[in-house]
Amino acid sequence: MAEALRRVLSAGRAAGPAGDGAAGPPLLLLGTPRSAQTSLLFAAALEAAGEGRGPVLFLTRRPLQSLPLNTPAARNPWRLQKVRFQYPSSVPELLQLLASAHEAPGPALSLLLLDGLEEYLAEDSGIQEAAYLAALLLDTAAYFSHRLGASGRCGLVVALETQKEADSDAPHLTLLQRYFPAQCWLQPDTLGSGQQHCLRASLESSKLSPRTEWSVTFLPNGEMKIIPWPTQASEPSPDKNCSSTESQSLTL
The predicted-structure confidence for 177-193, as pLDDT tens digits, reads as follows: 999 989 999 988 765 55
Residue 71 to residue 251: CA distance in whole angstroms: 6
Structural domains counted in the chain? 1
Q: Which domain holds residue 55?
A: 2-249
Domain with residue 111: its CATH number is 3.40.50.300
Per-residue pLDDT band at 194 (split at 50, 70, 90)? low
Question: Taking 70 as the threshold, does the pLDDT of residue 167 lie above it?
Answer: no
The predicted-structure confidence for 23-78, as pLDDT tens digits, reads as follows: 688 999 999 888 889 999 999 998 888 887 889 999 999 888 777 776 766 777 88
pLDDT at 208: 66
For the chain, where are the alpha helices, taking DSSP H only? 2-9, 37-49, 77-81, 91-99, 117-121, 127-148, 173-179
Residue type, 97: L
In this prediction, residues 130-138 reach a mean pLDDT of 95
pLDDT at 245: 38
pLDDT at 171: 63
Question: Percent of the chain beyond pLDDT 70?
Answer: 76
